[in-house]
Structure 1
Amino acid sequence: MKTPMQTRFTVLSCVALGVMSFAPRGHAQSSVTLYGVVDAGLAYNNNAAGSKLYSQASGSLQSDRWGLRGTEDLGGGLSALFALEDGFSISNGKIANGGALFGKRAYVGLSSHEAGTVTLGRQYDSVLDFVSRFSVSDDWATGYGSHPGDLDNLNNNSSENNAIKFLSADYRGFSFGGTYAFGNQAGQFGRNAEWSAGAGYSHGPFAVGAAYVNARDPNYSFYGNLPSSSTTSSNMTSLINAGYASAKTLQIVVAGASYQLGRLTLGGTYSNTQYQDVGSEAGIAAPGGQGTARFNNVEVNAKYQFTPAFRMGITYDWTKGSGINDATYEQAGWGVDYVLSLRTDLYAVGLYQHASGTDSTGQAARANIYAMTPSSTANQVAVLIGMRHKF
């Protein structure tokens, strides 16, 4: 009798082999690509609930994944396309994204050279499409370098289920798009629904982008749309926002820009995140109080390309809470990346965070670098070294 893992492996093998063997026969100009990322390293946390922690890290610079993507030329500038992308942990082999088989992305759609692309399925919102590139967590600082709690989703930790998405073609450097994710709740059209919109412009050394996200019942839609998610209790675990799981609406406004001066690139982001009507979700506690919690975040960063193979970056990030809480989080980071080949690189990152004020739980704010065990004090230091390989 097969174990669940053996059964899952068999299904994945059939999917991969079936798609790759069938697609080229369907059309002479069809293509299917198997791709992935494996990323592993060592991490140090100077204060994990009061103790030092040395651990193996997985998917730090870029989360571990494998996927299939393909296109078919339909003629007249129109193409069909699809993508299936699964996350996993190289440290223990477990499926990531709450056990979802293709928890990162899974969509199918049509693309026009002149108009743009329409896709349906599980997808990223407009923050990834237009702003994430300007934040260091999506570049050299690893996921641990995310803004506190990844409040603005610039590290792309949340995808949208049941989403229809449009991305325009590139019009001389300008592009725009948006998403709408259905809540799929009978008799409650807006329940658990999400939508986003954004735009970007790039010309020469200058690039800029902005996006807006609105999620109803975010504890279940934005933070709780995975197989392992709870349908009755909190799905928010970071001290930065765990106290706001009972919010009715999550609203994110974010913008970013960068400018390249030779080997030096300067960049930054601004975001405003609001958890509105905290206390409105029945059965979920609001320990920090009721009302609206707001966070303003500013990140400034710089990176320098010393050689084609070696670069270094620095960043400072400031997060200020208001409304229900008055927590302030200051975070600084430094990192280096050395490219061994087109597919393999080595990296090292150091991060420091300081917290002050009162956090979402109504307690004295403690440092909590993203995805790490919270500190027992207001300060926390993390150091990572690792290797990434793409295939």
Structure 2
Amino acid sequence: MNKWLASPVLLMIGAHAALAQTSVNIYGIADAGLVHESGGVAGSVTKLTSGVGSASRLGFRGAEDLGGGTSAIFTLETGYRIDTGEVDTAGTIFNRQAFVGLKTNAGTLTLGRQYTPWHQALVQVADPFGTGFAGGAKNLFPDWSTNVRTSNTIVYAAPSIAGVSADIAYSAGEQAGSNAAGRQFGASLGYSRGPLNVRLAYNNKNSDVAPAPGVAAVSRTIGTNSLLAANYIFGVARAYFAYGMDKGFNSGPMGNNNNPYGGVKPTPSTDSNEVMVGVAAPLGHGRLLASYTRKNDKTSLDQDAHAWGIGYLYALSKRTDLYAVYGAIVNSNGAGYTVANNSEAGTGNRASNLGIRHTF
């Protein structure tokens, strides 16, 4: 073979051999719906919005086989608004997830921006709506801000053995002069076998501010979130249950902090618990979803609330569904909870969703 021809051929063969050990997948969700909200000072609001059931996203996921049962893995995931084509969080690229790590027979270790174990238990086990739509847990559970995902995070997930799973996460606060200020850690322990799926999760958040030139030190109580999540299959239906406890500063972040009902601005609870029960059952070519949630504020303000939601997801295919969902909240003693969806906090105590979701 001519030497000038042989070199590029050999290079191509070598590149093919290397690529054969690596896989990269592109994935995502395109979700758009009509949302109608009412009951707040904003009045009646109707809009076409993005990510009603599941946040619209585009992601890249890859793995390289390193041999001996070990793989290098990565995920890069960005959120976008399908109604406008914009990035959903200004000034970011991969704001949803961005991590790299190793997967071995002894477990998986990842570093970067990642979901908290507490949020994963809520969305994967506890909520029939998957924390989306107008009936989801976001209405009253504190599934906002760094309770959902954290940057600068190390996560170790143990291999599942006999249905038992566990993971632990640590997020560095990265404030000069303090290893404690701003840090967050959490863990979960689960069991899934047959019709039963149950998980216990914990989140611990330090909201202190370390002193710096021109910045005064701030000391706050630790915010903690504990969650017991479960679901169980009864025949063709699946029943859901969640019990959450939140205590300390910033343990109960609210989705809408803009005084949605006017008057005295609501105060996020620093001592509360939530109970959710729900069901998902096949109906025709789709699924019927329903939930009821109760928030008990144990502070002196006693700002309780309860919420309910009902919805129907009609499957056009394995990847595409149509949805129709309604949710409502009853606030007590000046509580300010709003009916949310997966991507928005909402503006009032009632909302309906009508749209389409496609996964790829």
Normalising by the smaller structure, the TM-score range is 0.7 to 0.9
SS of residue paired to 2:124: helix
Q: Is the 8 A contact 1:147 1:317 kept in 2?
A: no
1:265 paired to 2:235: no
Instruction: Provide the residue aligned with 2:175 in structure 1.
Output: 185
**Amino acid in the other structure paired with 1:369:** V
Superposition deviation, residue 42 in structure 1:
0.3
> Which of 54, 73, 93 is matched with 2:85 structurally?
93
**Amino acid in the other structure paired with 2:151:** N
Across the aligned residues of Structure 1 and Structure 2, the Cα RMSD in angstroms comes to 3.1
1:304 paired to 2:281: yes
Rounded Cα–Cα distance in structure 2 between residues aligned with 1:159 and 1:119: 14
Instruction: Provide the residue aligned with 2:66 in structure 1.
Output: 74
Q: Is the 8 A contact 2:137 2:293 kept in 1?
A: no
Rounded Cα–Cα distance in structure 1 between residues aligned with 2:107 and 2:241: 28
Asked which structure has the greater RCO (Cα within 8 Å, sep 6+), the reply is 2
Instruction: Provide the residue aligned with 2:24 in structure 1.
Output: 32
C-alpha change, 1:187 and 1:58, in structure 2 (3 Å) is: same
1:62 paired to 2:54: yes
Instruction: Provide the residue aligned with 1:18 in structure 2.
Output: none
Q: Is the 8 A contact 1:141 1:334 kept in 2?
A: no
1:317 paired to 2:293: yes
Superposition deviation, residue 369 in structure 1:
1.7
Superposition deviation, residue 131 in structure 1:
3.9
> Which of 270, 274, 284 is matched with 1:293 structurally?
270
Instruction: Provide the residue aligned with 1:161 in structure 2.
Output: 151
**Amino acid in the other structure paired with 1:128:** H
Rounded Cα–Cα distance in structure 1 between residues aligned with 2:97 and 2:110: 11
Q: Is the 8 A contact 1:304 1:313 kept in 2?
A: yes
C-alpha change, 1:63 and 1:247, in structure 2 (3 Å) is: farther
Rounded Cα–Cα distance in structure 1 between residues aligned with 2:15 and 2:186: 32
For residues 95-131 of structure 1, the C-alpha deviation after alignment (integer angstroms, 9 at most, x for no partner) is: 124532101100000001x211000001111123434
Rounded Cα–Cα distance in structure 2 between residues aligned with 1:290 and 1:46: 21
Superposition deviation, residue 52 in structure 1:
1.0
> Which of 327, 330, 335 is matched with 1:351 structurally?
327
C-alpha change, 1:277 and 1:199, in structure 2 (3 Å) is: closer
Instruction: Provide the residue aligned with 1:238 in structure 2.
Output: none
TM-score, normalising length: structure 2: 0.82
1:382 paired to 2:355: no
Q: Is the 8 A contact 2:32 2:357 kept in 1?
A: yes
SS of residue paired to 1:68: strand
Gapped regions of structure 1 (runs ≥ 5): 1-21, 221-230, 233-244, 279-286, 358-363
1:139 paired to 2:112: no
Superposition deviation, residue 341 in structure 1:
1.1
Rounded Cα–Cα distance in structure 2 between residues aligned with 1:52 and 1:143: 16
Q: Is the 8 A contact 1:152 1:252 kept in 2?
A: no
Instruction: Provide the residue aligned with 2:103 in structure 1.
Output: 111
SS of residue paired to 1:60: coil
Q: Is the 8 A contact 1:212 1:252 kept in 2?
A: yes
Instruction: Provide the residue aligned with 2:142 in structure 1.
Output: 151
C-alpha change, 1:219 and 1:368, in structure 2 (3 Å) is: farther
Instruction: Provide the residue aligned with 2:261 in structure 1.
Output: none
SS of residue paired to 1:147: helix
Q: Is the 8 A contact 2:154 2:169 kept in 1?
A: yes
> Which of 163, 167, 170 is matched with 1:173 structurally?
163
TM-score, normalising length: structure 1: 0.76
Q: List aligned pairs for 1:189-338, cutoff 5 A.
A: 189-217=179-207, 247-276=220-249, 293-307=270-284, 309-338=285-314
SS of residue paired to 1:276: coil
SS of residue paired to 2:119: helix
SS of residue paired to 1:134: helix
**Amino acid in the other structure paired with 1:264:** A
Superposition deviation, residue 292 in structure 1:
7.8
Gapped regions of structure 2 (runs ≥ 5): 1-13, 252-263
Aligned length: 327
Identity %: 30
